[in-house]
């Protein structure tokens, strides 16, 4: 049986050398071993599929590597076989092509939006390092479409619409007209079975008559051509069902009015003979004005060349004639595949590879345009592509400028996803936020509720959208905090003069004070003070008659970077000069940084933020390195008091078993510690993540709880986490 199967392929690959047939045989043996025991949905052995794909590639007379990759294309995806084994056995070319195919297998297209389809097509081409990846992929898809009937209706439709939106246009763009037409017809058959059946029946009936007509016309034309000594071969075809369907839909033309339902093709030897033949044809039948197209002088974007004309017989039957040389014909039928056509004893040198790379780039970016000027324009714009196309984990494509980072990607998904972005995984691996996205990357954004963008992001983000969203959010946040700080400062200043904030609110002179400092509301006035632009004492003085004050409000030197505020905050917090004692952190001006949430007993470092008071970070917090201004660093130490408790969060990786949460909470309760929050999330049937927040007094306490948890059966790992570290996947 196996022997017989390979013989069929060998027959179709007769154009290859003996050594190359041996290569195919080795690929065949490997595929047979790898897929052994696997069965297709139809019940056939799985091997029948790669064998058929290789057959399609052999029919295109592609090089031995392409055909062999057809045999091996599903091996890495569907079996235990790895890329290293492929490379070891067959070499680097095979690795490149098979890994390209494996990557493409993960691309799924589900969005109904047309511009998304264009992005996916561009991206597939951009992802492809070797054109042969696309050729094998198209052969794969063609065979899958030919054998789609065994699948359920829903799946059939999904695959068919993906084929119609993505793969048929790629085949067309690469000039592979024959494969494009078959993919389209097969797609239509599954997407609109009713329409297809009706059209097919009508076309079949018309075809019987058309074939008779083609025979007669060919006979006449052959005689005329022989008289002019033009060599060549005539053939006829009728229009494909899908293109009839499209023309009916788009131009509201009935089948009987389609001038190009019947087309004759003359393949001759030279270009002059093409033009002579055109004259011969116009002598025999009446040409239809405006229907002559010279694609020899002005080739189509995908390299297609031919002369087209439409003529009408005396009895009123229209038909189209296409005239081209043998070379042009090969390009028309096979497109880019013609370039990968087997060349006996020719190795593809570096020059060839470069040529193909260039060709690929041209083909990648062109639109399907008939007008060569339009083509040149789009070529100019697109030849130096400055876009990258990346996926969300759900397969949606985001197009970003080159150099864009996960932050841009996050803001492209949704503003909120951008704001709450705390990290990214690219192709399943944790990547820094500075990572420059590449074509085909699958980017997953990790988020944390209530997280805020940092100023450092403005340098990382490349898109205007992301930058303006970050700036807006930073400003809003700074203002919110400035209002709070301003209120505190004003309140403290008021108290020093035996006044309350309420008295300030009701002061008769308040309206004038607001005007003087350009504030539209009391909050605005607080903000002005909080930003350090106006001292609280000055505001107070403006609100009340002069005699209430023993001395003038001190004036803070205003500077662009807010160092006036820094001085103010230092003075406000007091303590030993240059050192801040941190205690319960209940004061608005001193707070635990949310990124690392340090605990008493841990080394800490303070940072005076603009409008946010002092943030106390763990000395090891990576966020500290992001803060640019060493001027604003202040030494802080824990005040030696007891009785304060702090929230600390622990993240546990555990086995997903019954009673796990109960055991965890029991251990914590037994150690006499309060649990503030406990959440679990199953990753899959065997693993889960647990997040527990406990109230502790210091770092030592949380370490001892972690040790106890480590001993619970099924707990794999315990680590300290910042609040909200259990990430959720981005919404799209
Ligand atoms: Mn396959």
- Give the pLDDT confidence of 481-490 residue by residue, as tens digits: 888 888 888 8
Question: Is pLDDT at 559 greater than 80 in this prediction?
Answer: no
Give the burial class of 286: count Cβ atoms within 10 A of its Cβ; 0-12 exposed, 13-18 middle, 19 or more buried.
Answer: exposed
Q: For residue 73, report the distance from its CA to the centre of ligand 1, in Å.
A: 6
Which position has the token pair 């203002």? 479
What band does 592 get if pLDDT is binned at 50, 70 and 90?
A: confident
Q: For residue 364, report the distance from its CA to the centre of ligand 1, in Å.
A: 23
Handedness of CA 92, 98, 99, 100 (dihedral sign): positive
CA distance 261 to 551: 99
Question: Is pLDDT at 416 greater than 70 in this prediction?
Answer: yes
pLDDT on residue 356: 46
pLDDT on residue 267: 94
Q: How far is CA 283 from the centre of its chain?
A: 56
Range with lowest mean pLDDT among 232-236, 393-397, 627-631: 627-631
Question: Is pLDDT at 538 greater than 50 in this prediction?
Answer: yes
Three-state SS string over 36-81 comes to: CCCECCCCCECCHHHHHHHHHHHHCCECHHHHHHHHHCCHHHHCCC
pLDDT on residue 551: 44
CA distance 429 to 443: 9
Residue 130 appears among annotated catalytic residues = no
Question: Is pLDDT at 376 greater than 80 in this prediction?
Answer: no
What band does 254 get if pLDDT is binned at 50, 70 and 90?
A: confident
pLDDT on residue 130: 73
pLDDT on residue 553: 40
pLDDT on residue 4: 61
**Which DSSP state fits 270?**
-
| DSSP H helix total and E strand total for the chain | 30, 22
| Cβ atoms of 513 and 504 closer than 8 Å | no
- Distances in Å between the Cα of 698 and the Cα atoms of 101, 347, 670, 704 are 54, 70, 18, 11
Three-class secondary structure of residue 481 per DSSP: helix
Q: For residue 140, report the distance from its CA to the centre of ligand 1, in Å.
A: 5
pLDDT on residue 589: 64
Pairing of strands 580-582, 636-638: parallel
Q: For residue 241, report the distance from its CA to the centre of ligand 1, in Å.
A: 26
Structure tokens at 534: 């106006």
Range with lowest mean pLDDT among 568-572, 591-595, 726-730: 726-730
Q: For residue 448, report the distance from its CA to the centre of ligand 1, in Å.
A: 40
Q: How many residues does the chain have?
A: 732
**Which DSSP state fits 553?**
P
Question: Is pLDDT at 25 greater than 80 in this prediction?
Answer: yes
Q: Is pLDDT larger for residue 305 or for residue 724?
A: 305
CA distance 449 to 566: 29
Segment 389-410 shows an average pLDDT of 84
Question: Is pLDDT at 32 greater than 90 in this prediction?
Answer: yes
pLDDT on residue 41: 86
Range with lowest mean pLDDT among 126-140, 182-196, 646-660, 708-722: 126-140
Percent helix / strand / coil, the chain, rounded to 5:
50, 15, 30
**5 CB contacts (<8 Å, ≥6 apart)?**
47, 48, 51
**622 CB contacts (<8 Å, ≥6 apart)?**
595
CA distance 61 to 65: 11
Question: Is pLDDT at 576 greater than 60 in this prediction?
Answer: no
Q: For residue 338, report the distance from its CA to the centre of ligand 1, in Å.
A: 22
Structure tokens at 355: 């040529």
Give the burial class of 199: count Cβ atoms within 10 A of its Cβ; 0-12 exposed, 13-18 middle, 19 or more buried.
Answer: buried
Q: 386-402: buried (b, 16+ CB within 10 Å) or exposed (e) per residue? A: ebbbbbbeeebbbbbee
Question: Is pLDDT at 382 greater than 70 in this prediction?
Answer: no
- Pick the catalytic residue from 77, 87, 477, 491: 77
Structure tokens at 161: 């619409």
Q: Of 111, 105, 155, which Cα lies nearest the Cα of 732? A: 111
CA distance 273 to 281: 12
Range with lowest mean pLDDT among 137-141, 335-339, 382-386, 512-516: 382-386
Segment 43-52 shows an average pLDDT of 92
Q: Of 448, 454, 422, which Cα lies nearest the Cα of 724? A: 448
Q: Of 434, 392, 437, 439, which Cα lies nearest the Cα of 414? A: 392
Structure tokens at 719: 């680590």
Note the pTM of the prediction, 2 decimals. Answer: 0.51
Percent of the chain surpassing pLDDT 90? 26
pLDDT on residue 94: 93
Range with lowest mean pLDDT among 83-92, 326-335, 605-614, 626-635: 626-635
Three-class secondary structure of residue 545 per DSSP: coil
Question: Is pLDDT at 552 greater than 50 in this prediction?
Answer: no
Question: Is pLDDT at 318 greater than 80 in this prediction?
Answer: yes
Question: Is pLDDT at 569 greater than 50 in this prediction?
Answer: yes
CA distance 148 to 42: 9
DSSP string, 436-493: PP-TT-BEEEEE-TT----TTHHHH--SHHHHHHHHHHHHHHHHHHHHHHHHHHHHHH
**678 CB contacts (<8 Å, ≥6 apart)?**
661, 664, 665, 690, 691, 692, 693
**Which DSSP state fits 547?**
G
Question: Is pLDDT at 536 greater than 80 in this prediction?
Answer: yes
Range with lowest mean pLDDT among 266-275, 407-416, 621-630, 686-695: 621-630
Range with lowest mean pLDDT among 19-28, 67-76, 435-444: 435-444
Q: For residue 62, report the distance from its CA to the centre of ligand 1, in Å.
A: 18
pLDDT on residue 455: 85
| Cβ atoms of 597 and 585 closer than 8 Å | no
Segment 648-670 shows an average pLDDT of 86
Q: For residue 74, report the distance from its CA to the centre of ligand 1, in Å.
A: 5
| Cβ atoms of 582 and 637 closer than 8 Å | yes
Q: For residue 712, report the distance from its CA to the centre of ligand 1, in Å.
A: 46
- Pick the catalytic residue from 78, 387, 416, 491: 78
Q: Is pLDDT larger for residue 724 or for residue 659?
A: 659
Range with lowest mean pLDDT among 99-108, 370-379, 506-515, 558-567: 370-379
- Distances in Å between the Cα of 474 and the Cα atoms of 452, 570, 607, 612 are 8, 23, 17, 12
Handedness of CA 463, 465, 466, 472 (dihedral sign): positive
Question: Is pLDDT at 373 greater than 50 in this prediction?
Answer: no
- Report helix angle 18-34 to 2-12, nearest 10: 140
What φ, ψ does residue 521 adopt, rounded to 5°?
-145, 175
Segment 544-561 shows an average pLDDT of 46
Give the number of other Cβ atoms within 10 Å of residue 565's Cβ: 27
Average pLDDT, the chain: 79
CA distance 320 to 217: 12
Question: Is pLDDT at 432 greater than 80 in this prediction?
Answer: yes
Segment 593-607 shows an average pLDDT of 80
Q: For residue 34, report the distance from its CA to the centre of ligand 1, in Å.
A: 14
Q: For residue 117, report the distance from its CA to the centre of ligand 1, in Å.
A: 22
Q: For residue 56, report the distance from its CA to the centre of ligand 1, in Å.
A: 12
Three-class secondary structure of residue 516 per DSSP: helix
Range with lowest mean pLDDT among 336-340, 370-374, 576-580: 370-374
Range with lowest mean pLDDT among 86-90, 499-503, 628-632: 628-632
CA distance 270 to 282: 19
pLDDT on residue 85: 92
Three-class secondary structure of residue 642 per DSSP: coil
| Cβ atoms of 176 and 131 closer than 8 Å | no
Question: Is pLDDT at 610 greater than 90 in this prediction?
Answer: no
Q: How far is CA 59 from the centre of its chain?
A: 34
Range with lowest mean pLDDT among 254-258, 654-658, 725-729: 725-729
Residue 78 appears among annotated catalytic residues = yes
What band does 145 get if pLDDT is binned at 50, 70 and 90?
A: very high
pLDDT on residue 42: 85
Give the number of other Cβ atoms within 10 Å of residue 432's Cβ: 11
Three-state SS string over 125-188 comes to: HHHCCCHHHHHHHHHHHHHHHHCHHHCCHHHHHHHHHHHHHHHHHHHHHCCCHHHHHHHHHHHH
Q: For residue 50, report the distance from its CA to the centre of ligand 1, in Å.
A: 6
Q: For residue 122, report the distance from its CA to the centre of ligand 1, in Å.
A: 22
Q: For residue 101, report the distance from its CA to the centre of ligand 1, in Å.
A: 9
CA distance 504 to 490: 9
CA distance 441 to 427: 6
**504 CB contacts (<8 Å, ≥6 apart)?**
490, 494, 510, 540, 543
Q: Is pLDDT larger for residue 258 or for residue 692?
A: 692
pLDDT on residue 687: 86
CA distance 77 to 540: 73
- Report helix angle 177-191 to 326-334, nearest 10: 30
| Cβ atoms of 572 and 669 closer than 8 Å | no
**375 CB contacts (<8 Å, ≥6 apart)?**
301, 366, 367, 369
CA distance 56 to 337: 12
Question: Is pLDDT at 463 greater than 70 in this prediction?
Answer: yes
What band does 48 get if pLDDT is binned at 50, 70 and 90?
A: very high
Segment 634-650 shows an average pLDDT of 74
| Cβ atoms of 348 and 362 closer than 8 Å | no
CA distance 35 to 39: 8
Q: For residue 545, report the distance from its CA to the centre of ligand 1, in Å.
A: 86
What band does 729 get if pLDDT is binned at 50, 70 and 90?
A: very low
């Amino acid at each position: 049986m196996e022997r017989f199967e390979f013989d069929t392929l060998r027959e179709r690959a007769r154009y290859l050398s003996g050594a190359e047939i041996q290569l195919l045989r080795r690929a065949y043996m490997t595929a047979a071993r790898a897929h052994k025991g696997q069965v297709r949905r139809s019940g056939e052995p799985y091997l029948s599929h790669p064998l058929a794909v290789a057959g399609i590639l052999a029919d295109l007379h592609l090089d031995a590597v392409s055909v062999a990759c057809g045999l091996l294309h599903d091996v890495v995806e569907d079996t235990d076989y790895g890329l290293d084994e492929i490379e070891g056995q067959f070499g680097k070319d095979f690795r490149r092509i098979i890994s390209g195919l494996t990557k493409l297998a993960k691309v799924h297209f589900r969005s109904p939006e047309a511009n998304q389809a264009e992005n996916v097509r561009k991206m597939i081409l951009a992802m492809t390092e070797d054109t042969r990846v696309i050729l094998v992929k198209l052969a794969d898809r063609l065979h899958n479409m030919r054998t789609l009937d065994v699948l359920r209706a829903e799946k059939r439709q999904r695959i068919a619409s993906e084929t119609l939106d993505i793969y048929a246009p790629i085949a067309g763009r690469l000039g592979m007209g024959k494969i494009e037409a078959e993919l389209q017809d097969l797609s239509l058959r599954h997407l609109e079975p009713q329409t297809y059946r009706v059209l097919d029946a009508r076309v079949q009936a018309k075809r019987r008559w058309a074939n008779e007509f083609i025979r007669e016309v060919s006979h006449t034309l052959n005689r005329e051509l022989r008289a002019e000594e033009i060599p060549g071969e005539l053939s006829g075809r009728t229009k494909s069902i899908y293109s009839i369907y499209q023309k009916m839909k788009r131009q509201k033309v009935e089948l009987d009015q389609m001038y190009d339902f019947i087309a004759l093709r003359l393949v001759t030897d030279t270009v002059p003979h093409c033009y002579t033949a055109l004259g011969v044809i116009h002598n025999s039948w009446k040409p239809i004005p405006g229907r002559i197209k010279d694609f020899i002088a002005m080739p189509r974007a995908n390299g297609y060349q031919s002369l087209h004309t439409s003529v009408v017989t005396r009895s009123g039957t229209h038909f189209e004639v296409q005239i081209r040389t043998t070379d042009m014909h090969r390009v028309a039928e096979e497109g880019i595949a013609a370039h990968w056509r087997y060349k006996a004893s020719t190795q593809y040198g570096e020059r060839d590879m470069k040529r193909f790379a260039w060709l690929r780039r041209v083909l990648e970016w062109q639109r399907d345009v008939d007008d060569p000027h339009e083509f040149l324009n789009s070529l100019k714009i697109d030849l130096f592509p400055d876009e990258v196309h990346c996926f969300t984990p759900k397969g949606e494509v985001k197009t970003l400028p080159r150099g864009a980072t996960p932050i841009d990607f996050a803001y492209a998904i949704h503003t909120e996803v951008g704001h709450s972005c705390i990290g990214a995984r690219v192709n399943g691996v944790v990547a820094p936020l500075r990572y420059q996205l590449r074509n085909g990357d699958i980017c997953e954004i990790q988020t944390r509720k209530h997280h805020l963008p940092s100023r450092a992001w403005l340098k990382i983000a490349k898109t205007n959208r992301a930058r303006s969203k970050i700036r807006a959010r930073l400003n809003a946040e700074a203002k919110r905090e400035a209002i709070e700080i301003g209120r505190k400062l004003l309140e403290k200043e008021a108290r020093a003069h035996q006044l309350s904030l309420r008295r300030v609110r009701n002061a008769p002179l308040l309206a004038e004070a607001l005007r003087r400092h350009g504030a539209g509301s009391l909050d605005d006035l607080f903000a002005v003070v909080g930003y350090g632009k106006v001292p609280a004492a000055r505001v107070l003085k403006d609100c009340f008659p002069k005699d209430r004050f023993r001395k003038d409000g001190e004036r803070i030197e205003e500077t662009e970077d807010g160092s006036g505020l820094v001085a103010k905050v230092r003075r406000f917090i007091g303590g030993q000069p240059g050192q801040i004692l941190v205690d319960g952190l209940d004061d608005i001006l001193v707070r635990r940084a949310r990124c690392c949430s340090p605990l008493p007993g841990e080394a800490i470092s303070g940072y005076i933020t603009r409008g946010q008071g002092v943030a106390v970070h763990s000395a090891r917090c990576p966020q500290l390195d992001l803060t640019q201004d060493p001027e604003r660093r202040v030494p802080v130490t824990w005040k030696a008091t007891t009785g304060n408790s702090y929230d600390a969060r622990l993240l546990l990786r555990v086995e997903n078993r019954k009673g796990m949460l109960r055991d965890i909470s029991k251990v914590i309760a037994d150690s006499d510690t309060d649990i503030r929050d406990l959440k679990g999330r199953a990753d899959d049937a065997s693993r889960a993540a647990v997040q527990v927040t406990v109230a502790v007094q210091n770092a030592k306490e949380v370490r001892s709880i972690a040790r106890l948890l480590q001993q619970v059966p099924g707990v794999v790992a315990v680590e300290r986490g910042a609040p909200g570290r259990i990430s959720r996947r981005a919404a799209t």
